[in-house]
């Protein structure tokens, strides 16, 4: 065994191991973040990036304003401010002092004044014109209405009035009706207007059909005392001379039958000759009943009108 060299005095004991100091742990660096595609895009265009950031600030500011406005609206602040401003304008002289009604010929004016002046506020800016119009349309005489302001102090109501075309007799009541069957006003028997009389349930809704029937044969109008709507299906015409004419169902069939009856009467003078009823519900046949007869009979037509009734 070789002895250690004289210059090296370090003793090495058997069994001793050389202990090495552990190396100091190196601090970990955070992993670099990956740039998003949007960030890379902004880096390439710095001017546009600044504009986008400014736009983002504006969007944020606008959203905040919207939220504040929604809160104020929920608290009804705009409505309150609007009412106060409207009242102030009214006190300055812009409030309703006069109502001008245009277009009324038959309807009473007092109900229109009552509706126009029944407002929560008479200040011109606060008038609810659509509400006034809708209330006016509840009257039967008024077909349409236009309501407008005329500054500084006039409310103009322009009425489109319905035109009466017939008198409806139902349940012992007489009522004026227009072409659409709308009820207009009660009728006094002593002041009966010169209009066709329609009789029976829902006869008012058949006025247009009756008008078309009379327009097809205008010569019947002065002879007609009334028209009875029978069973919701057809018309019976009543003449001033006392007779009744039963027409078939259907507008075209009724017009065709009435035209034929007028031709027969022009040749044979059937009206005012003691007949009680004429029935033309059977095609190409005239059934008549005399005033003293209980049952209708087929009346042979005069020779001059044979082709009209056979």
Q: In total, how many domains does the chain have?
A: 3
pLDDT at 285 over 80: yes
- The pLDDT-based confidence of 158 (bands split at 50, 70, 90) is very high
Tell me: do 255 and 152 sit in the same domain.
Answer: no
My answer on whether 169 and 241 are in the same domain is yes
Return the percentage of the chain with pLDDT > 90, whole number: 49
**Mean pLDDT taken over the chain:** 77
Which of the two residues, 95 and 88, has the higher pLDDT score? 95
- Domain assignment of residue 2, yes or no: no
Domain range for 63: 51-92
Does 153 fall in a domain? yes
Residue 26 lies in a domain: no
pLDDT digits (tens, 9 = 90+) for 106-129: 999 999 999 998 888 878 777 888
The pLDDT value given to residue 296: 47
Q: Confirm whether 6 is domain-assigned.
A: no
Among 137, 161, 185, the domain boundary falls at 161
pLDDT at 46: 58
Give the pLDDT score at 130: 92
Q: Kindly state whether residue 39 falls inside one of the protein's structural domains.
A: no
- Answer whether residue 34 is part of any domain: no
Q: What is the pLDDT of residue 283?
A: 86
Lowest mean pLDDT among 29-33, 168-172, 273-277: 29-33
Give residue 261's pLDDT.
94
Residue 298 has pLDDT above 60, yes or no: no
Residue 309 is predicted with a pLDDT of 35
Tell whether 148 and 284 lie within a shared domain.
no
139 with 168, same domain: the answer is no
My answer on whether 195 and 253 are in the same domain is yes
Give the confidence band of 190 by pLDDT, cuts at 50, 70, 90.
confident
> What would the pLDDT profile of 61-82 be if each residue is shown by its tens digit?
455 445 545 554 554 545 565 5
**Amino acid 155: pLDDT:** 92
Are 268 and 300 members of one domain?
yes
Say whether both 190 and 240 belong to one domain: yes
Same-domain status, 62 and 131: no
CATH of the domain at 107: 3.10.20.310
How confident is residue 263, by pLDDT bands cut at 50, 70 and 90? very high
Give me the DSSP letters along the chain. -PPPPTT------TT---PPPPPPPPPPPPPPPPPPHHHHHHHH-HHHHHHHHHHHHHHHHHHHHHHHHHHHHHTTHHHHHHHHHHHHHHHTT-B--EEEEES-SSS-SHHHHHHHH--S--BGGG--HHHHHHHHTTSTTEEEEEEEEETTTEEEEEEEE--EEEEEEETTEEEEEETT--EEEE--GGG--SS-EEESTTGGGGHHHHHHHHHHSGGGGGGEEEEEEETTTEEEEEETTS-EEEPPSSHHHHHHHHHHHHHHHHHH--TTSSEEEEE--STT--EEEETT-SS-EEPPPPGGGHHHH-
Q: Which pLDDT score is estimated for 248?
A: 96
Query: How much is the pTM?
Result: 0.62
Are residues 202 and 283 located together in one domain of the fold?
yes
Q: Does 205 fall in a domain? A: yes
The residue out of 36, 60, 92 marking a domain boundary is: 92
Domain-ending residue, one of 161, 176, 198: 161
Q: pLDDT category, 40, cuts 50, 70, 90?
A: low
Assess whether 86 and 125 both reside in one domain. no
| 185/71 same-domain check | no
> Is residue 5 domain-resident?
no
- 6 compared with 105, residue with greater pLDDT: 105
Position with higher pLDDT, 7 vs 289: 289
CATH code, domain with 291: 3.40.50.11690
Tell whether 114 and 168 lie within a shared domain: no
């Amino acid at each position: 065994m070789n002895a250690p060299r004289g210059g090296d005095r370090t003793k090495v004991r058997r069994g001793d191991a050389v202990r090495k100091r552990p190396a100091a742990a190196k601090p970990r660096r955070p992993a670099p973040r990956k740039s998003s595609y949007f960030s890379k895009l902004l880096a390439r265009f710095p001017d546009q990036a600044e504009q986008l950031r400014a736009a983002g600030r504006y969007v944020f500011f606008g959203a905040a304003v919207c939220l504040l406005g929604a809160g104020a609206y929920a608290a009804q602040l705009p409505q309150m401010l609007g009412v106060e401003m409207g009242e102030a304008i009214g006190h300055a002289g812009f409030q309703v002092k006069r109502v001008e009604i245009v277009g009324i010929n038959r309807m009473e004016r007092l109900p229109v004044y009552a509706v126009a002046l029944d407002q929560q506020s008479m200040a011109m800016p606060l008038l609810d014109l659509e509400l006034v119009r809708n209330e006016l349309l509840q009257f039967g005489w008024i077909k349409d209405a236009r309501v407008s302001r005329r500054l500084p102090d006039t409310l103009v109501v322009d009425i489109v009035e319905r035109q009466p075309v017939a008198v409806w007799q139902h349940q012992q009541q007489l009522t004026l009706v227009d072409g659409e069957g709308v009820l207009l006003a009660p009728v006094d028997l002593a002041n009966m207007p010169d209009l066709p009389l329609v009789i029976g349930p829902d006869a008012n809704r058949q006025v247009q059909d009756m008008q078309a029937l009379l327009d097809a044969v205008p010569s019947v109008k002065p002879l007609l005392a009334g028209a009875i709507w029978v069973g919701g299906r057809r018309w019976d015409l009543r003449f001033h001379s006392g007779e009744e004419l039963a027409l078939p169902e259907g507008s075209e069939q009724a017009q065709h039958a009435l035209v034929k009856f007028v031709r027969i009467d022009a040749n044979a003078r059937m009206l005012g000759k003691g007949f009680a009823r004429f029935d033309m519900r059977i095609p190409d046949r005239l059934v008549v009943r005399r005033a003293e007869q209980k049952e209708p009979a087929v009346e042979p037509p005069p020779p001059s009108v044979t082709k009209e009734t056979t």
